[in-house]
């Protein structure tokens, strides 16, 4: 059962057909069917008091619509300032200038803004668009195309013997532990057995927070007060192998890229994980706060230089005015010839508020 589900929800297998009587999906929700089992109950799940996940299966179509609506509403601040550019009646230089300012204000960054403007001009010319509303749709298409390489499924269960090991890093408060809790819930629902490692051995609250998520998901957590984070990670990978777990998720302490000794500690954790399993960690994921805009891109670059990132989770896209940062991340990846995929995005503190990233859905939600 797990092998089927894990393919379906974490490795991008074909989506099942929608029921015949289902209402049409929103304009852009190409991965909506794949999202259905990730759609969760509406139980509040704040880090301080996560509520247990409901066992009731939500209606697939409603869940799809509900996620798209939440994404749309989360991105409203970013989208409305970009969208306001298209309220006029003329396609002229003033429109492109206003658009440039709006994109920069949304933390899209200079390169991505320039790329999008150039691409948009070509699309406008090719389509002979005459009204600004049509140009807005063309911008959504250009953005979706730019973001598409970021859209990849988290590979789970590809290891022939032993668990898939996920190492999670990020600055303080980016949403690492909350993301791990939500991911664990999604994975458990998909039939995977999960083991958590509390490699933040300094902060008791961090261990407790992970412990709460572990209890809610009825999964085990390896932790050790005041111990060496690398040793805890080693123990967790060894235990995960011995106990036949499908996934081991290692929660590391928050740190700034400028705290060089703590970045060295992260590198050590990775090295020691490799001692427990030479093929691990199979994924090194950076959790970034979508509210931090260009700063998040700087974090991606710095953590990638230290660890070699394999993926990103972008949290707190609810209410941000800086949602353009995903375009900046895509452009950075494009320029260096290797994108770091965005596996999941988060738009809130509830379990269902973390979902797989879909480029077209994101662009449509932003520029609907």
CB 174 to ligand GTP: min, Å: 4
7 annotated as a binding-site residue: no
Token duo for residue 126: 């090719």
Measured CA to CA in angstroms, residue 90 lies from 30, 85, 330 at distances of 32, 10, 30
Nearer to ligand GTP, 99 or 210 (CB): 210
Measured CA to CA in angstroms, residue 267 lies from 77, 149, 258, 301, 305 at distances of 37, 27, 14, 15, 10
CB 355 to ligand GTP: min, Å: 10
Q: Which stretch binds ligand GTP (CB under 6 A): 24-32, 121-129, 152-160, 344-352?
A: 344-352
Token duo for residue 143: 């953005």
User: In sequence order, what are the residues at sequence separation of 6 or more whose Cβ sits closer than 8 angstroms to the Cβ of residue 332?
Assistant: 111, 297, 300, 301
254 annotated as a binding-site residue: yes
Binding mask 262-301 for ligand GTP (x = CB under 6 A): ----------------------------------------
CB 45 to ligand GTP: min, Å: 8
Q: Binding to ligand GTP by residue 348, rule CB under 6 A?
A: yes
Measured CA to CA in angstroms, residue 139 lies from 134, 238, 290, 362 at distances of 9, 49, 21, 12
CB 168 to ligand GTP: min, Å: 8
164 annotated as a binding-site residue: no
Kindly tell me which residue out of 246, 353, 358, 361 binds ligand GTP, with binding defined by CB under 6 A: 353
Strands 342-346 and 311-315: parallel
Token duo for residue 154: 């988290």
Query: With 0-12 CB in 10 A as exposed, 13-18 as middle and 19+ as buried, what is 119?
Result: middle
Nearer to ligand GTP, 315 or 360 (CB): 315
| Residues within the interface to ligand GTP (CB under 6 A) | 46-47, 170, 172-178, 200, 206, 254, 315-316, 318, 346-349, 353
């Amino acid at each position: 059962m797990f092998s089927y589900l894990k393919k379906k929800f974490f490795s991008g297998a074909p989506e099942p057909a929608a029921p015949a009587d289902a209402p049409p999906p929103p304009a852009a929700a190409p991965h909506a069917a794949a999202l259905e089992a990730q759609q969760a109950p509406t139980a509040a799940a704040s880090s301080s008091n996560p509520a247990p996940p409901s066992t009731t299966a939500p209606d697939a179509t409603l869940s799809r619509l509900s996620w798209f609506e939440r994404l749309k509403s989360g991105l409203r601040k970013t989208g409305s300032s970009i969208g306001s550019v298209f309220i006029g009646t003329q396609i002229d230089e003033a429109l492109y200038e206003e658009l440039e300012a709006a994109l920069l204000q949304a933390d899209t960054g200079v390169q991505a803004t320039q790329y999008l403007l150039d691409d948009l001009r070509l699309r406008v010319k090719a389509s002979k668009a005459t009204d600004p509303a049509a140009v807005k749709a063309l911008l959504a298409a250009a953005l979706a195309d730019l973001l598409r390489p970021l859209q990849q499924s988290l590979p789970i269960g590809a290891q022939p013997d032993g668990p898939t090991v996920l190492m999670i890093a990020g600055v303080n408060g980016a949403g690492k532990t909350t993301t791990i809790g939500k991911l664990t819930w999604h994975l458990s629902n998909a039939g995977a057995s999960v083991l958590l490692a509390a490699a933040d051995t300094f902060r008791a609250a961090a261990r407790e927070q992970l412990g709460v998520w572990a209890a809610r998901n009825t999964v085990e957590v390896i932790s050790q007060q005041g111990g060496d984070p690398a040793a805890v990670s080693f123990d967790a990978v060894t235990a995960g192998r011995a106990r036949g777990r499908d996934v081991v998720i290692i929660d590391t302490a928050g740190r700034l890229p400028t705290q060089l000794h703590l970045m060295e500690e992260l590198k050590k954790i990775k090295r020691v994980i490799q001692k427990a399993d030479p093929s691990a960690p199979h994924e090194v994921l950076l959790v970034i706060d979508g509210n931090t805009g260009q700063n998040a891109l700087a974090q991606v670059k710095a953590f990638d230089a230290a660890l070699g990132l394999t993926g990103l989770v972008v949290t707190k896209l609810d209410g941000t005015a800086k949602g353009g940062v995903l375009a900046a991340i895509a452009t950075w990846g494009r320029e260096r010839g290797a994108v770091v995929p965005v596996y999941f995005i988060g738009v809130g503190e509830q379990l269902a508020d973390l979902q797989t990233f879909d480029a077209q859905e994101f662009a449509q939600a932003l520029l609907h």
